Structure 1
């Protein structure tokens, strides 16, 4: 079964749980045990629902931080669950490229939501991607600083490591000797 269909089935389950104020995982267990008139839930739909349930607080926090003027609670039920699915795919499923997650969310929004929803969803999901990218850049910068601090604690400075790694045959102490003024006074010629 196509992932697009699995997303729609996951959306149906998340929507139902949201409307009934029912625990997502308990409803999922019911749907797995008794699919009713529908075919059994596809594996990817189950993965999405479990992923959203497991990370819902972080997903909602991210959506709230990236949204201007709208909290998750104020969004329409269908809109917020489309956003939750796509945000889960963006943040927690490395198999799905960001563009695909956004495009699939837009396809659902165009068929199930009002006319303004696709633009809102696109803008918010783009902001989620930007926030994630900025957080990754900041985390990488922190790692680099921590590595530099570790090297300093080991007695090596990043400059001396670069000098040694660059193939320069002079030792770091030669560089220090050259930069240190000699203790002998220099004579001046008058």
Structure 2
């Protein structure tokens, strides 16, 4: 599975977990039903890493939301931000600019024009603050 597709599926899983009372295995099964036989290692590392670090990720996102609360932004935008912040904070393998670009593309795919601009602004503020990585 390509990394872009893995990120798309990770956002879909995180979204389901955020808005529906669904268990992680069920969310993974729903998203992966057409993808039998594909490697899911990167996808599962994104989902599990995001979920395991969710309190730290949410706290960090909140620092860069201007005049917004995390629970007030669109659910899909929150899922995209959580995934991107996970990669920026805990996954040193992917360059920051790639994470930013991927998050913007995910927002364009799943949300609207205002959302991708919002996500770009939040992530850019984080990166400009120099907070590119923290200890894992």
TM range (shorter): 0.7 to 0.9
State the distance in 2 between where 1:97 and 1:134 align: 10
Mapped to 1, the partners of 2:50 and 2:133 lie a distance apart of: 20
Unaligned segments of structure 1, at least 5 residues: 137-190
Unaligned runs of 5+ in 2: none
> What is the aligned partner in structure 2 of residue 118 from structure 1?
116
Matches for 1:1-190 after TM superposition, within 5 Å: 1-22=1-22, 26-27=23-24, 29-31=25-27, 37-40=33-36, 42-133=40-131
- Seen in structure 2, the aligned counterparts of structure 1 residues 134 and 83 have a Cα distance that, compared at 3 Å, is closer
Once the two structures are TM-superposed, the CA of residue 11 in structure 1 deviates from its matched residue by: 0.8
TM-score by length of 1: 0.63
Pick closer, same or farther for the CA change 1:135–1:10 going to 2, 3 Å: closer
Give the number of the structure whose alpha-carbon radius of gyration is greater.
Answer: 1
Question: Larger RCO: Structure 1 or Structure 2 (Cα < 8 Å, ≥ 6 residues apart)?
Answer: 2
Instruction: Give the Cα separation in 1 of the matches to 2:93 and 2:104.
Output: 19
TM-score normalised over the length of structure 2? 0.86
Whether the 8 Å CA contact 2:80–2:107 is kept in 1: the answer is yes
